[in-house]
Amino acid sequence: MKPDCLILYVNSPAESVLFYRSLLGREPVEQSPNFAMFMLNDKTMLGLWAAHDVQPGSELRGGGAEIGITVESDPEVEAAVAAWKASGWPVLQTPTAMDFGYTAVTADPDGHRVRVFRPARS
């Protein structure tokens, strides 16, 4: 088994596409009124599914997990936060040194967390 797709339940796929298009710097590979799909890398996809259309239905919503984005340097973490602020996105965690690396967190329109981090150096 090779997991290759993460699906988030969202209130508005169109609104979420705007967020993830800006965050990822790419267009969705698939989009309809109730669903959109982005390629995260050559093997992993991110789906955005309209919560009212999810089958089987679910009451769960964003905030209970994170999408992690690895970067190479501390300035890249800081640049991400500057871009989030310029876009009006929430900064849930300002750049912070933690045991696993240097990190910061934002959230998409539905409260799904996105963490950017430079891994701790050995």
Please give the model's pTM, rounded to 2 decimal places. 0.90
Q: What is the mean pLDDT of residues 82-103?
A: 97
Tell me whether the CATH fold assigned to 5-51 matches the one assigned to 66-119.
no
- Given a cut of 90, whether residue 109 has pLDDT beyond it is yes
Sheet with 113-119: strands ordered across: 66-70, 113-119, 101-107, 91-98
Contact yes or no for 80/95 (Cβ under 8 A): no
Class of domain 66-119: alpha beta
Instruction: Domain 5-51: give its CATH code.
Output: 3.30.720.120
What are the residue boundaries of the structural domains of the chain, listed by start?
5-51, 66-119
* Whole-number pLDDT of residue 60: 81
Average pLDDT over residues 28-34: 97
Name the average pLDDT for the chain: 95
